[in-house]
Structures are given as C-alpha cells and as structure tokens.
Structure 1
Amino acid sequence: MAADPLDPLRRSLGRLPNARRRLLRAFQPTAAGGLRPEGAGAIPLLNLASNDYLGLSSHPRLQEAACAAIASGGVGAGASRLVCGSRPVHSELETRLAAWLGRERVLLFPSGFQANIAAVAALADRHSLVLADRLIHHSLLVGVQASGAQLRRFPHNDLAALDRLLGEARASSAERRLVVLSESLFSMEGSSPDLPALSALCQQHSALLLIDEAHALGVLGPGGRGLAHGLEGVHLVSGTFGKAFGSGGAFLATGDLLGDWLLQRSGAFRYSTALAPPLAAAALAALDLLEETPDLGSKLLERAERWRTSLAAADWPLVAGQGPILPLLVGEDDRALDLQRHLETEGLLSVAIRPPTVPAGTARLRLVLCRDLPPGTLEQLLEALARWR
C-alpha cells in the first residue's frame, strides 16, 4: 500500500513546538480603538497591535466613500483590469497617487504580497543578482524565488557590507543586472535605512533599487509620502492601503518605462481580479485626508518619540527608529507569549512575534502606536510592564 502523501506534512507539524504554533483569533472592534476578543466574558482590549496607524479605517469619510462605491457599482470588480474590471475610481486613484508621490505611473494590486512579487519579477530575472537586506519582508523573498534570480543578503541596514557586495558583483560583470531590495520602515524592527545613502550607493554601482514603503506611507516623509519621496535612484516603490490608509489593497509606483513593463508583462497584474472598487474609493478618501492634513503623521511621530523615551527610561531595550513601531525584545518564545497573556489581563493587546517571522532568540512584542489610542495608554502600559517584571 502506498504511503500517505500527506505524511511529511503531518510529521513536520508534529515537530512544531507549542510556543510556535499559530492560532486564529477573532476580535470585534469597540470604541476608542479597542477590540473585544471572541468568547464569553472576554474584556475589551486597547489595541497596540494594529497597523491602522492613523485610525482611518473607521473614519466616516472612508466609510461613506466605500458605501457609495458599493451602492453605485456593487462590491467586486468582477474581472481583471485588462478585461472589464477597470473602474473610474481605479484610474483616479492611480493618477492621484502618482502626483502625490512624484512618480510617473502607479498600478493597483489586490494585496501588498502580490505587489511585491510583481515588483521583484519586473526588475529581476534568472540572470540577475538580487542583494537584499536580511530582514526584508517574506513577500520580497518569494518574489526573488519566482524570478529565478541569484540571491545574496546583507546584514540589516549595513550599507558598508552592501557596498562591498555591489563592488564585487560589478567587478565580476559590468553588464549583469543588479537589484537591491530594502524597506523604508521595517515592520518588526521599527528601524529605517539611510535611504539617501542607499540610493546613492545603488546609482554608483548601476543597480536597480526597490523600496517597500508599506509601513512608512502616511506616517514618514514629507506629508506622509514616505522616505523614498523625491530620491533619485529609487526605481520602484511598493505601498499598501491596508495600513495608514485604513483600507485594503496595494500599489506600485514607478516611471513610465517600468510602469508599461508591468502593464504588458506582469502576470501578477494581468491575471488577478481588480482591487475591489469600495477599497479603492476608501483609499482615495484617505489620500484626500492626507493631503488636507499633512501633519497627521508628524503628530503621531511626536507621540511615538515620547513612548520611546519613556520605555527606554524604564530599561526596555529598543531598536533605534523614528516610527510608531516599538518592539519589546524579550528573547524566548515562551516569555513573549507570557508577556502577551499578562498584558491582556491588564486590558492591552500586543501580539507575541516569534520565529520564523523574526530570528530565533529574538521573540518580541510588537507595540504599535496608533493615533486614536486614548490618553493615558502609555501610563497603563508602563504599569503593566512593571508588574510583569
């Protein structure tokens, strides 16, 4: 009798430690940026885990825009953009985003994961060498695999190491396509590279540069336009609407040549149903708000700096950064889970991040500061952390 073809998966799951098993939990949003876990007797929690940095997902203007799109054209687009799925709201959002970001072309995608795969595939092929920051998002690594390119990784934000690798690669081949991948705000670290120096380095070595701005847009850079805004040498920017924009979906922003290449050659764009029009309409409403109140992100950064200073004063080691992501490094998986459970008893939600999302031995709680957290949240957090210790 033939062996069960699922046995390798069964054995692999059996070896997974309990502290690294993932569980799905459902939450019901409540007032003042809170969440109530599903289940009898569950208490509402202040949300320190969301990427809704500016609290726009519940903004009345985004809700009204999404509802109006549903009323006028239904929920889904019904087809890919190249068949009959394009709607006026898609074109308007792409045009407005391109102008806001100072780019010639924007294309929308249903998800950030998909956009990143498309971005890498547009820049690299099996003859290319991709040099990637060791902590880049998994979606970018999947994109490298799909492209067939050779991959080399450099230590996190270590531009001297990248310079050496680029120099070696260019010395061995003057014509080989070199592609560099990084992020403007790393989602599990809260850290950022020196983007002007990174861009200059890529120009020096004739390398293409892709920057994932998913967690920076709306918060960092002039008017929330991201840290790559206005930089020469950044060939492609990926961004999402599911974070500071409070909606869903993603985009790639680039020049005319790469934009046309994506339109003509990207399977990830060609063979996907278009971004749901209500999500595009909500993202457009979020862009309106960002243009009307360009200091939304800067005000959040001021508050985040107060949090960083207070946590450092309480002897919590923090990664250097300037954004609203503040990871508390606790080391082992069990300790991170224990701290997560403790904070929930104190009315705070912050999820333990464990390998393989982060390297072994660096499990953490990823604190995220959002604009709609009520006053006194920092004091509540500091008292809860002190009791855990």
Structure 2
Amino acid sequence: MKKVKIPKNRIRKLKTFSLGKKSFELVSSNSQNKKLIDLCSNDYFGLSRDKDLIKAAYEISLLEGIGSGSSRFITGSRPIHKLLETELAKWLDQEKVLLFPSGFQANIAAIQTLANRNSIVIADKLIHNSLLVGVKAAQAKLVRFSHNNLKDLEDKIIKSNPTKNSILVVVESLYSMEGSIAPLREITEICKKNSVQLLVDEAHAIGILGPEGRGLSFNCRSDITMITGTFGKAFGSGGAFIASNSEIGEYLIQTSGAFRYTTALAPSLAAGALEGLKKILENKEWGNDLLSSANLWKDVIIKNFSFPVQGDSHILSIIVGQEEKAIYLQKYLEENGFLAIAIRPPTVPAGQSRIRITIRRNLDFNLLKNFIAVLKDFK
C-alpha cells in the first residue's frame, strides 16, 4: 500500500455516540459520557427515533429477515422493496425507481449509467465526492463550472460541443456543505436548449423542499434525466434510490454493476423508509416549519456573532476561515454542551473552514438562546 502523508491537523478520529433521553441529545462515549445537544445530524425530522418507524422495521424483519441475503437478481428482492419503489415513483411522478444500499452507491450507479469513457461530465465545483467517484468509475472527462454560475455552465457546455459529444451535467439541488440551492429551473432550460442530459442529486432536499417535500427538481422533472435521493436524512432510515424514466431504469438494471452485484437494501431499512414517507405525506407542514426555524437560527446567529453565516435552508455554515480556529471552535462548543463539527479541507476549499450546523424539527428556541449565549463568549 502506498503511504500517504496526512498533515497532523487533518487527521480525523472516529467518535462514538449513544442516544440521549431527549430527542436532540447525544451521549459521547469519548468524553466520559458527556451529554451533548446535537447540531450536526442529518436526521432532519427526527424520524430515526420515531416509534412507528422502529415498529415497521421490527415487524418487517420478522416477516422478511434482518438482511436480504443476496442481490436483487438472486434471492434479495423482497415485497417491501417493490412496495417502496412503487410508492416513491407515484409520489415523485417518475416511471421507475430503484433502491440502493447507500447514497454513495446510488450516485456512482447514476453516473455510470449516463456516462462512459466517450462522455463529458460538466459538474458544479461543489458536488459531493460520491459523484466525483462516479465520474472516475465511468472514465468520463470531467469539466467543472463555478458554483451555481449559469453563464459558466452554458459556456462550458458550448465549449464541449454538444452536437458532437455526449454531455452529462451534474448538480445537487441543495449543497450539503454550503446550504446553497441550485437554480434548477434555469439549469434545466440550459440543458434542454443544448440537448444535454441532467442528473440532480436531491439527497438533502428530498422530503423537505419543493412541493410537499418532493424535492426542488419536482416542478421541472420532465426536463431532468435522472434524480438520486437518500433515506438516511429526512426519511430517518437508510439506503437510497434512483428515479428516471422506464427506459433508463431498465438499462440501469441490465448494466449497472453497482445495482446488480450488491446485497439488496435491508428489509428493515426499506420498511422504515416507507413509514418515513407516510409521515412526510401526513405532515406536509414539516418542511416549511423547518425552513422557518432555520431562518430564525440564521438571523439570530448573524446578529450575535461576528463570523459570516451561509445557507439558504436547514443547513447553515458559520464561516471561520482558518482550519485551526474552526477546530478550536468545535472543541469550545463541545466543552459547553453543543456538538457541531468543523468542516475543513479537502471537504471545503482552503480558507473556508467552517462550523456546519443542521437545523432539525426538534430544536426549540431555548436551545437557540443557549447556543447564542455560548457563542457570545467565544474568543
């Protein structure tokens, strides 16, 4: 194995947490069982602890097993998989939905389905690592455009000669480190005008943003080639999916190694995701309530803290700048009972280190007041 020198300040350490008694509370196994207020989980609606989801996962495990035991092509397909795929397809108004064990895997499969060594992938500079891995796996040429910059996107498409080359544009609807929202309507128009394919990763938006939580791509779905999404965030479960038309879906089934050669999603996670979907359908106000709460947190932090705050949604970033200072702020917050992680290079550009916080449904105003009181004393 080739030895890679990692700078000391960039070495990551795994930490272990148990669930606390309160819905927003974690207990650190690394810090003498210290109770912490969780400001970094992607469990946006708190559904991972929901009793109905836990019950659904338990009951399906009794019927269909803890694990699926093999790939979907052998004995791994269970009735719960088909049911979840069918319900998601109806909800998203898509012809075909296919399940995957993880969002990382789904994104690799998506890129490999839509691109190959003869393709050009034009991607936003801030797309997730899983999408970049997918481009490498497809052996496609990668071209990057400036984040959410429509002119740069179109310039890169025209320069890549779409009349002669197979081009795939790749964006996220909501960027996980910036909290910024893609101008999808304009992006779809550019892609349609230039006859290029478009892949949208909806991981952090699905269930929350867009019409009744259907994602930011929903209103322009007819002009989008494929979307990916996960169940490990708003849905409170685990696993992921790809949604497309029937032709592309069938091509993926027949050709995608990431789909064909992996053990199918655990039945318990599929059942949990389906119950999570039911909860989202029954509580259509949750998404807007979460955004209102996030706007309040952002406004109050900006008024009381000197560092800039980014984010157009439930993901907020306090931009600290220097890596060392971001790490110091993380430690300071943890010492004062708040778990918020420092995000550093290479995840974000050098000089853009930050404390990323996620606003969730179970965070009340008293927690915000306590957080601000702690921030005010930071030096």
Partner of 1:135: 126
Matches within 5 A, 1:1-389: 6=1, 8-9=2-3, 12-13=4-5, 16-30=6-20, 31-39=22-30, 41-170=32-161, 174-231=163-220, 232-314=222-304, 315-319=306-310, 321-389=311-379
In the TM superposition, residue 337 of structure 1 has moved relative to its aligned partner by 0.7
Cα displacement string for residues 191-221 of structure 1 (whole angstroms, at most 9, x for unaligned residues): 0111000010000111100000000011111
In the TM superposition, residue 27 of structure 1 has moved relative to its aligned partner by 0.3
**CA–CA distance in 1 between the matches of 2:196 and 2:370?**
47
Number of aligned pairs? 376
Deviates further, 21-30 or 70-79: 70-79
CA contact (8 A) 1:311 1:382 kept: yes
Provide structure 1 residue ranges, at least 5 long, that are not aligned to the other structure. 1-5
Over the matched positions of the two proteins, sequence identity in percent amounts to 45
RMSD of aligned C-alpha atoms? 1.1
CA contact (8 A) 1:32 1:374 kept: no
CA contact (8 A) 2:43 2:233 kept: yes
**CA–CA distance in 2 between the matches of 1:374 and 1:346?**
18
Deviates further, 118-127 or 371-380: 371-380
Cα displacement string for residues 247-298 of structure 1 (whole angstroms, at most 9, x for unaligned residues): 0000001111111111111110000110000000000000011111111111
CA contact (8 A) 1:56 1:244 kept: yes
Cα displacement string for residues 204-243 of structure 1 (whole angstroms, at most 9, x for unaligned residues): 1111000000000111111111100131311100000001
**CA–CA distance in 2 between the matches of 1:266 and 1:281?**
24
CA contact (8 A) 1:102 1:230 kept: no
Amino acid aligned to 1:48: L
In the TM superposition, residue 354 of structure 1 has moved relative to its aligned partner by 0.9
Show structure 1 runs of 4+ deviating over 6 A: none
Amino acid aligned to 1:277: P
**CA–CA distance in 2 between the matches of 1:210 and 1:39?**
40
In the TM superposition, residue 40 of structure 1 has moved relative to its aligned partner by 6.2
**CA–CA distance in 1 between the matches of 2:33 and 2:49?**
22
CA contact (8 A) 2:253 2:259 kept: yes
In the TM superposition, residue 322 of structure 1 has moved relative to its aligned partner by 2.6
In the TM superposition, residue 39 of structure 1 has moved relative to its aligned partner by 4.1
Provide structure 2 residue ranges, at least 5 long, that are not aligned to the other structure. none
CA contact (8 A) 2:333 2:339 kept: yes
**CA–CA distance in 1 between the matches of 2:207 and 2:366?**
24
Amino acid aligned to 2:201: D
**CA–CA distance in 1 between the matches of 2:216 and 2:81?**
25
